């Protein structure tokens, strides 16, 4: 085996350009496949992280403005959601709605504790707000039904807000009173700020905040979790029925999609999953074609290599070399070259992905109220890298096997005369 390796090394040194071209074709194919898959995974992971930050089977309903005239009313009228819309949503769709709540907002308000203060919007919410937005409580508790029933002046702060209000451990704020605008609120909980949010919110009971700031019967959104809507068609039918019912109350056209906005996380997730699958498939196709171009390059170079060495093989056979020894030499040379340069391409591909992860990994697009992750963990599993490398090694071996068999079967006299 040592003699074969020594001979392969000597051949590579004599034919530096040919060896370099073969190696580049192999390394480039592996590198591009791993790089493209890593970039695609970064996009897919970002999509998954964005969608996983909210409860999938939930909807948020917002009032907006009418976009078409209806019953003598002109377009452009504002639709303000209120308690009647809340009751309609809750009572008319019990077959699908689980927990329902609403949101009232005020601010930004100054929240102070001693000499420290911060400024942020404050939301009046129902208990279901925690589940719908997947808020992780770090200390204390969230708003409960009793808080809303008794209009308690309690508040749940984001951890970032708590850090601005005290230099002590943030859990020390639990049970303490902070000034929110002109009112004192007791801190009952601290939650971990959602990574998608660029703004930290203080959360108070819905009834408390709306009463304090004269909201009457108004609300900014209705939110609820649901069940039994498993297809995109079922969700569209539900949205159409809900929108038509609310529009009717506000003298808006039943099919006016602009009058009432419905943010359906379930259908959004379905569309994101479809988009992720398309991205994944497209990247595999592009990557495999890139890899295929490397395989074709290796095949062509191996064919040329064997043809150039036909006279050499003839001399070897004339002095007693067996067809198997020639076949073994060519195949071994093909395996070693593809394995060596395939490994180099794999390492460069992994390095490029790690560089992407270090520079633009967890990159976000700031949209004001929310931040959307654009690129998260753009890496490829080591198993995939090894499979891609093994694939091109096998392809390179096959590419060397075909001309090697032909060379091994060639009679010495034919081989010696082939290059004359």
User: 112-127 pLDDT, tens per residue?
Assistant: 998 899 999 999 999 9
Share of the chain above pLDDT 70, in %: 85
Final residue of a structural domain among 169, 192, 215: 215
Q: CA–CA separation, 132 vs 160, rounded Å?
A: 21
Res 2 pLDDT > 90? no
Res 373 pLDDT > 90? no
Whether 298 maps to a domain, the answer reads: yes
CA 384 to chain centre: 19
pLDDT of residue 253: 92
Percent composition of the chain: helix, strand, coil (DSSP 3-state, to 5): 55, 20, 25
Could you please report the per-residue DSSP string of 283-311?
HHHHHHHHHHHHHHHHHHHHHHHHHHTHH
* Same domain assignment for residues 15 and 130: no
Residue 201 belongs to what domain range?
103-215
The b/e string for 353-392 (b: 16+ C-beta within 10 A; e otherwise) is beebbeeebbebeeeeeebebebbbbbbeeeebeebbebb
Contacts of 120 (CB under 8 A, 6+ apart): 107, 108, 109, 111, 161, 199, 200, 201, 202
Q: CA–CA separation, 83 vs 218, rounded Å?
A: 7
More confident residue, 29 or 260: 260
Which of 97-101, 332-336, 365-369, 397-401 has the highest mean predicted lDDT (pLDDT)?
A: 97-101
Structure tokens of 76?
């452009």
Asked which of 15-24, 55-64, 69-78 is least confident by mean pLDDT, the reply is: 15-24
**pLDDT tens sequence across 256-315:** 999 999 999 888 888 877 877 887 788 778 777 777 777 777 777 777 777 777 777 777
* Same domain assignment for residues 279 and 394: yes
Q: What is the mean pLDDT of residues 333-346?
A: 82
Res 372 pLDDT > 70? no
Q: CA–CA separation, 247 vs 63, rounded Å?
A: 9
pLDDT of residue 282: 83
> How many residues does this entry show for the chain?
420
Q: What is the mean pLDDT of residues 17-38?
A: 80
Q: CA–CA separation, 81 vs 95, rounded Å?
A: 22
pLDDT of residue 413: 67
Final residue of a structural domain among 215, 246, 281: 215
pLDDT band, very low/low/confident/very high, at 215 (cuts 50, 70, 90): confident
Res 13 pLDDT > 70? no
Structural domain total, the chain: 2
Final residue of a structural domain among 215, 233, 254: 215
* Same domain assignment for residues 206 and 325: no
Res 363 pLDDT > 70? no
Maximum Cα–Cα distance across the chain: 104
* Same domain assignment for residues 323 and 409: yes
**DSSP label at 170?**
G
* Contact by Cβ (8 Å): 112, 165: yes
Q: CA–CA separation, 51 vs 376, rounded Å?
A: 13
pLDDT band, very low/low/confident/very high, at 102 (cuts 50, 70, 90): very high
């Amino acid at each position: 085996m040592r003699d074969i390796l020594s001979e392969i090394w000597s051949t590579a040194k004599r034919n530096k350009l040919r060896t370099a071209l073969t190696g580049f074709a192999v390394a480039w194919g592996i590198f591009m496949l791993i790089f493209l898959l890593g970039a695609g995974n970064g996009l897919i992971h970002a999509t998954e992280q964005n969608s996983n930050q909210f409860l999938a089977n939930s909807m948020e309903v917002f009032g907006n403005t009418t976009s078409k005239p209806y019953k003598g009313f002109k377009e452009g009228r504002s639709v303000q959601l209120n308690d009647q819309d809340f009751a309609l949503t809750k009572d008319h769709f019990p077959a699908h709605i689980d927990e329902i709540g609403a949101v009232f907002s005020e601010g930004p308000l100054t929240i102070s504790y001693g000499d420290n203060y911060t400024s942020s919007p404050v939301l009046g919410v129902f208990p279901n707000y925690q589940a719908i937005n997947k808020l992780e409580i770090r200390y204390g508790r969230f708003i409960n039904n009793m808080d809303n029933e008794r209009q308690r002046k309690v508040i749940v702060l984001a951890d970032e807000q708590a850090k601005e209000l005290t230099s002590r451990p943030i859990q020390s704020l639990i049970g303490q009173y902070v000034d929110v605008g002109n009112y004192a609120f007791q801190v009952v909980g601290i939650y971990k700020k959602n990574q998608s949010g660029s703004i930290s919110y203080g959360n108070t009971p819905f009834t408390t905040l709306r009463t304090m700031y004269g909201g009457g019967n108004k609300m900014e959104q209705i939110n609820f979790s649901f069940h039994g809507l498993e297809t995109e068609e079922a969700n569209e039918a539900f949205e159409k029925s809900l929108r038509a019912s609310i529009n009717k109350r506000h003298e808006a056209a039943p099919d006016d999609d602009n009058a009432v906005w419905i943010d359906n996380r379930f259908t959004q997730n379905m569309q994101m999953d479809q988009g992720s699958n398309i991205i994944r498939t497209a990247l595999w196709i592009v990557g495999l074609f890139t890899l295929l171009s490397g395989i074709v390059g290796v095949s062509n170079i191996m064919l040329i290599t064997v043809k150039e060495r036909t006279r050499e093989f003839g001399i070897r056979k004339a002095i007693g070399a067996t067809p198997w020894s020639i076949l073994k030499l060519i195949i071994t040379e093909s395996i070693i070259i593809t394995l060596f340069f395939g490994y180099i391409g794999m390492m460069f591909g992994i390095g490029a992905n790690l560089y992407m992860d270090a520079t633009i990994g967890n990159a976000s697009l700031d949209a004001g109220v929310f931040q959307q992750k654009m690129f998260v963990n753009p890496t490829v599993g080591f198993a995939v890298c090894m499979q891609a490398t093994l694939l091109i090694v096998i392809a390179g071996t096959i590419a060397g096997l075909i001309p090697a068999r032909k060379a091994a079967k060639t009679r010495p006299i034919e081989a010696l005369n082939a290059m004359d």
